[in-house]
Every structure is written in C-alpha cells, then in structure tokens.
Amino acid sequence: MQSEGNKYISGTLIAQELGLEPIQVRKDLAITGIIGKPKKGYPVTTLIDAIERFLGWNSVQDVVLVGAGNLGSALMGHREFRLHGLHIVAAFDKNPEKAGTTIHGVKVLPMDTIEAEIRTLGVQAAILTIHSDDAQAAADILVKAGILGIWNFTAVKLRVPETVAVQTEDLSSGYAMLCVTMQSYRDGDDGTAP
C-alpha cells in the first residue's frame, strides 16, 4: 500500500488480504497502540511504524549464526533481514577450514570459541543452521552462554529452559504441507479425513 502511494488502509482490506476476520485484525493491531480513523482506516506509514516498533524492528538486534553451511551462508546473504534490524555479527562452524573465512561480510569463527564470543559480543539471539545431529548440543552451549532466543532451522525439537524463546522453521513440514495440498487438489477434496 505504501509503495502504491495509498495513505490509508482499512482493517477490512487487511483481513481480506490475509484471510482473517476483520475483528481479529483490529484486535491484533490495537496491541501495537495504533488507532484507526472511522471510514478511512489506518494511516499506512504510522501503521508500519507501529508494527515495527512492536516487533522491535526499529532498533538493531545483533545475532550470531551457528553452522556456516549452505543454509547458514544463504541467511548471511539475505538482504531482507536488514530491513527488520536483524544483524548477524558473527558465525561459528566446527569445520576448521571455514573458521577465519568471511561469508557475505560475516566472519566465521571456530565453534569452540562460541561461548566466550557470545558473552563478549553481548548478543541475546542466535540462528541455528547446524546439522540436526549437532543441534541439541549447540543449543545447550547457546543457553549456557546466555542466549535468550534461538531461530531454529534444524529438524530437531530443541529442549531449552522456559525462559528461552525458540522459533522453529521446519522446511520438511512446509514441504509436507505442499505435498498434501497438491494431493488433495488432485483428488478433488479438501485434504481432510471424512
């Protein structure tokens, strides 16, 4: 809406675009503190600011990345993250040949320095793109080093203390959803059991 030069957007239109109920959209947006104008809706720029402030995206969050493989490297090069204040300040890898290299401007450090580096850097969040077999051990080290949020790209359901936030992006689950939906469209049903 902003790039199209629209000054206002209605809660009804947002709901329609996202497939949600208008009442839910209004309730959710109210949490950010924004107030819509009757008949006009929400001022677009103010709404974006309010959501970004709510998410903390108006300030920079330094994070570390664990596992500088294919996916880790791709995330280091993902420019869109900068728009959300996400700044990868260092990466760690157990492969000694990777340590010392720089990927998309991010230095790769040896895995055995991670605990000390996290404390020195003072970061609170980490991106986990390590092999699934090593995921829980890496998470344990992150928690010990004081990390409060883990963005988990492994297939492992991490066990962490209740004070640590984990957001899991399970690519296999996403692919499973695509397969099931395609199958149900082929069968001409909605994919659920009778």
State phi, psi for 12 to the nearest 5 degrees.
Answer: -65, -40
Q: Which two tokens stand for residue 141?
A: 């080290």
Query: Considering the rule CB under 8 A, would residue 182 count as an interface residue with a copy of itself?
Result: yes
Query: Considering the rule CB under 8 A, would residue 23 count as an interface residue with a copy of itself?
Result: no
Cβ atoms of 102 and 132 within 8 Å: the answer is no
Q: Which 33-92 positions form the footprint of a copy of itself (CB under 8 A)?
A: 54-57, 61, 69-71, 73-78, 80-81, 84, 86
CA distance 108 to 141: 17
Instruction: By CB under 8 A, name the one of 7, 37, 104, 144 that touches a copy of itself.
Output: 104
Question: In terms of Cα–Cα distance, which of 149, 144, 151, 146 is closest to 165?
Answer: 149
Residues that bind a copy of itself (CB under 8 A): 17-18, 27, 30-31, 54-57, 61, 69-71, 73-78, 80-81, 84, 86, 104, 124-125, 132, 148-151, 155, 157, 163-165, 167, 169, 171-172, 174-183, 185-186, 192-193
